[in-house]
Amino acid sequence: GESVGLHLPTLSVQEGDNSIINCAYSNSASDYFIWYKQESGKGPQFIIDIRSNMDKRQGQRVTVLLNKTVKHLSLQIAATQPGDSAVYFCAELGLSYDKVIFGPGTSLSVIP
């Protein structure tokens, strides 16, 4: 069935370094992907999205890369800050656009 998975369950980075969070998806027909950030006690917060007709999209300090050939998605965070510490979920919008399929999440810990 459809699923989205993450390669690394935990990631620790030094403050100021760049972070890269990876994600694999299984459905090659999916065409919309989203990264969410979830801080403790809060709901997931939209970070950035990308559609399958693009391979890169940039936001403020964040970049999402999509490699459809190997069904891989990554989130790059530049100059990681303590406030970036959270669980990051990649998500795939189902083919019928009716639900978001979440991966298991990666916990990012920023070391001051």
Partner 1 sequence: EAGVTQSPTHLIKTRGQQATLRCSPISGHTSVYWYQQALGLGLQFLLWYDEGEERNRGNFPPRFSGRQFPNYSSELNVNALELEDSALYLCASSDRGNQPQHFGDGTRLSIL
> Backbone phi, then psi, for 99, in 5-degree steps?
-160, 160
One of 22, 24, 32, 57 touching partner 1 (CB under 8 A)? 32
Using alpha carbons, select from 53, 35, 52 the residue that is nearest to residue 44: 35
Measure the CA–CA gap between 71 and 44, rounded to whole angstroms: 23
The residues with which 92 forms a beta bridge, in sequence order, are 33, 101
Site map (CB under 8 A) of partner 1, residues 39-58, x = contact: --xxxxxx--x---------
The span of 9-17, 61-69, 73-81, 98-106 binding partner 1 (CB under 8 A) equals 98-106
Site map (CB under 8 A) of partner 1, residues 53-92, x = contact: ------------------------------------x---
- Provide the pairing of β-strand 62-67 with 86-93: unpaired
Name the site residues for partner 1 (rule: CB under 8 A): 32, 34, 36, 41-46, 49, 89, 93, 96-105
